């Protein structure tokens, strides 16, 4: 949903929408997240089933210059 909504906002620039989606997917789905992500804030969260969990609400990402380019 988040990427679709951003795509709608960025639809005038397909390259921008593609770049945003690529960055979003790397942040969320990369198997190497631990190499470039630093979690800075978590909160307690209870699932629908009543199970307590921690939820990440803030993080920092560190990318190499060639990825940013």
pLDDT at 17: 81
Residues 48 and 25 in one domain: no
Indicate whether 9 belongs to any domain. yes
* Residue 24, domain extent: 1-30
pLDDT at 66: 86
Indicate whether 69 belongs to any domain. no
Structurally, the chain folds into a number of domains equal to 2
Residue 1 has pLDDT above 60, yes or no: no
Residue 43 and residue 55 in contact, taking contact as beta carbons nearer than 8 Å:
yes
User: Which strand (E) or helix (H) includes residue 40?
Assistant: strand 37-46
Q: What is the pLDDT of residues 15-43, one digit of tens each?
A: 888 888 888 888 888 999 899 999 999 99
Our measurement of the distance from residue 56's CA atom to the centroid of its chain's CA atoms, rounded to an integer in Å, reads 11
pLDDT at 45: 92
Indicate whether 8 belongs to any domain. yes
For the record, the structure tokens of 50 come out as 């009543």
If pLDDT is split at 50, 70 and 90, which confidence band does 2 have?
A: low
Residues 23 and 44 in one domain: no
pTM of the predicted model over 0.75: no
- Give the whole-angstrom CA distance, residue 18 versus residue 50: 37
């Amino acid at each position: 949903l988040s990427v679709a909504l951003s795509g709608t906002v960025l639809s005038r620039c397909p390259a921008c929408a593609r770049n945003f989606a690529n960055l979003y997917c790397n942040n969320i789905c990369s198997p190497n997240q631990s190499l470039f992500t630093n979690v800075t804030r978590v909160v307690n969260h209870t699932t629908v089933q009543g199970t307590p969990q921690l939820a990440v609400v803030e993080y920092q990402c560190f990318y190499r210059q060639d990825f940013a380019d």
